[in-house]
């Protein structure tokens, strides 16, 4: 385990009965469902001709609100990551 904090390993060891530390890879956009949401919104925003930034902001909020009411889209973005929602038994 690497850490910049000297006391971190001892902190973790003292709580080993309930704390599991997992080394995660560097940022991987394919594991982040939010990236799918933004790709979807940016695709629709790219088709708009907005004169000012405020119009773009209103359009982005409208697109995000539309996604909020389409749970199948949210499930799809999460499914694209390949990650399980529930922890898997070890």
Instruction: Tell me the pLDDT of the chain (90 aa) as tens digits.
Output: 455 667 888 898 999 999 988 776 777 888 888 888 888 888 887 767 666 778 888 888 998 999 999 989 888 888 888 877 666 666
pTM, two decimals, is 0.53
Instruction: Identify the pLDDT of residue 32.
Output: 85
Per-residue pLDDT, 58: 87
The two three-digit tokens of residue 73, written as one number:
């889209």
Which two three-digit tokens encode residue 77?
Answer: 């973005």
Residue that is written with structure tokens 């405020």 in the block: 54
- DSSP reduced 3-state for 66: helix
pLDDT at position 89, please?
Answer: 66
């Amino acid at each position: 385990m690497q850490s910049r904090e000297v006391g971190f390993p001892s902190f973790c060891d003292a709580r080993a009965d309930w704390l599991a530390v997992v080394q995660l890879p560097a940022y991987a956009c394919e594991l982040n469902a939010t990236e799918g949401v933004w790709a979807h919104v940016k695709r629709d925003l790219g088709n708009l001709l907005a004169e000012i930034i405020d119009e773009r902001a209103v359009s982005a909020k409208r697109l995000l609100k539309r996604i909020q009411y389409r749970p199948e889209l949210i499930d799809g973005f999460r499914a694209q990551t390949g990650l399980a929602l529930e922890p898997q038994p070890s």
